[in-house]
Amino acid sequence: MANIGYLQVVRHCNHLCGFCSNPTTPYEHDFESMKVLVDDFVARDYFGIILTGGEPTLHADLPRIAEYARGRGLHVRMITNGSRLADPKFARSMADAGLQLVHISVYSVRPEIEAELRGTPDTLPKAFAAADAANDAGIEVNINCVINAMNADHLDEGVRHWMRHHPYIRHFVWNNLDPSMGRAEVNQDKFTPKLADFEVSLHRALRLLHKSGRTFRVEKVPLCFMTDFAWASTETRKIIKGEERIVFFLDQKQAVRQTDWEHVYAEGCAVCSLRTICGGLFDRGNGYDPAELEPVFVDRDQIARTVIEDPSDPSYGLRDLHAWRADFEKRIARAQKTRSLPVLPDAPQVGKRTERAERRFEAKRASESRKAVSQGIEMEKVDDPKV
Ligand code: SF4
């Protein structure tokens, strides 16, 4: 399977998004502590690594760890807000280090909305420049967008912008907001969308991309809100292919392994034809309403076939529907007996809690708290008892 692991390089950031699910912590990495985690992915036969954060470009050893991961045979990717990547020299240094793909995160192409969501003015021109700089340096560029209450009605506007001005971008990822962690948890009223709020604009965005021959994935959206493009659901693809994901959190959660992609279901889901391949409602934070879910009656196996026969995704070995069905039934039976534990017991330590990291955390939290007041957002709870 083409498993891809996440390594949080830092947890601080130069933006202050009101729905950040991974805000600043008093932990930090040095090159050696990241190297151990790269080796762990290699030992587990992972296909690739995503360097993320916080804002990963704020770590001085980012090019070095990218180079090390590439040297160990991993496909190297990064998620960034683009603020540093806009510098062509930095983009070139990351390409030289082995970075192959970058996900630039942009929520809205309306400048005033993007500024409010990021808690920082004038970020859009840098994100656009970052896309061009990465592309010029030979790094593949994808766009990531968190669906939230403020961009829910114009997701397709972003697609039109990117297609017109940055036509080399061929892949897009939408993540519906995770209301369970960090600042997203305490600012649910402001940022968590209703599913119905984005259904139409998401559909318009996906239709535009599909027509243009571009590809996309959608995360944390129940299939009844994207039935025409169910094969593009990240959870559905992982359920169909039996993939896992490990995240090395630079906080007290440490290493988390996800093999169970099912979340919350409504009573009506029991009769839905997509129940066995649907991740349901991502509702760990009670931010969404299960009453929005409506069973659908479409051909599940047609969706499975689209996923396992996808020529752009060679990660699934069994390319025949009958073989997939037999394999899938076995996996479902096994999963019902042994629901996986999210914590990875044999994982190495993720980063360190040092005096320097504690000092930076305290200073950062003080400055972010002041900024949060002026933005009208709440700061995340600090749930680590040592802080
Ligand atoms: S009704 Fe339930 S199982 Fe069916 S697509 Fe919606 S969330 Fe998924």
Say which CATH number the domain at 18 has. 3.20.20.70
| Number of domains the chain is built from | 1
pLDDT, position 339: 55
Report the alpha-carbon distance of residue 287 to residue 148 in Å, rounded: 12
Q: What value does the mean pLDDT take over residues 73-89?
A: 98
Name the burial class of residue 72, with classes exposed (0-12), middle (13-18) and buried (19+) by CB atoms within 10 angstroms of its CB.
middle
Lowest mean pLDDT among 161-175, 213-227, 324-338, 353-367: 324-338
pLDDT above 50 for 387: no
pLDDT above 80 for 218: yes
pLDDT, position 302: 96
Cβ of residue 141 lying under 6 Å from some atom of ligand 1:
no
Cβ of residue 222 lying under 6 Å from some atom of ligand 1:
yes
pLDDT above 90 for 318: no
pTM above the 0.85 mark? Answer: yes
Closest residue by Cα to atom 2, ligand 1, is: 269
Q: What value does the mean pLDDT take over residues 277-293?
A: 87
pLDDT band at 345 (very low <50, low <70, confident <90, very high): confident
What tokens appear for 189 in the block? 């009223």
Q: What is the 265 CA–ligand 1 centroid distance (Å)? A: 7
pLDDT above 90 for 385: no
Report the alpha-carbon distance of residue 196 to residue 153 in Å, rounded: 10
pLDDT, position 71: 98
Domain membership of residue 365 (yes or no) is yes
Would you state the torsion angle of the CA atoms of residues 194, 200, 202, 205, taken in this order, to the nearest 10 degrees?
-160
User: What does DSSP assign to residue 292?
Assistant: G
pLDDT, position 319: 74
Computed over every residue of the chain, the mean pLDDT equals 93
Residues 6+ apart with CB under 8 A from 48: 2, 4, 5, 74, 75, 76, 77
116 in Cβ contact with 78 (< 8 Å): no
pLDDT above 70 for 353: yes
Cβ of residue 158 lying under 6 Å from some atom of ligand 1:
no
- Name the pairing type of β-strands 101-105 and 140-147: parallel
Q: What is the pLDDT of residues 23-76, one digit of tens each?
A: 999 999 999 999 999 999 999 999 999 999 999 999 999 999 999 999 999 999
Ligand 1 atom closest to Cα of residue 230 = 5
Q: What is the pLDDT of residues 93-124, one digit of tens each?
A: 999 999 999 999 999 999 999 999 999 999 99
As a residue count, the chain comes to 387
Domain membership of residue 80 (yes or no) is yes
Q: Is 294 helix (H, G, I), strand (E, B) or coil?
A: coil
Closest residue by Cα to atom 6, ligand 1, is: 224
Q: What is the 246 CA–ligand 1 centroid distance (Å)? A: 26
pLDDT, position 337: 59
Q: Using most ligand atoms within 8 A of CB, pick from 220, 274, 281, 300 the residue to mutate for ligand 1.
A: 274
Domain membership of residue 302 (yes or no) is yes
pLDDT band at 313 (very low <50, low <70, confident <90, very high): confident
pLDDT above 60 for 341: no
- Domain encompassing residue 171: 4-375
Q: How far is CA 343 from the centre of its chain?
A: 19
Cβ of residue 357 lying under 6 Å from some atom of ligand 1:
no
Lowest mean pLDDT among 128-137, 292-301, 320-329: 320-329
Ligand 1 atom closest to Cα of residue 294 = 1
pLDDT band at 1 (very low <50, low <70, confident <90, very high): low
Q: What is the 321 CA–ligand 1 centroid distance (Å)? A: 22
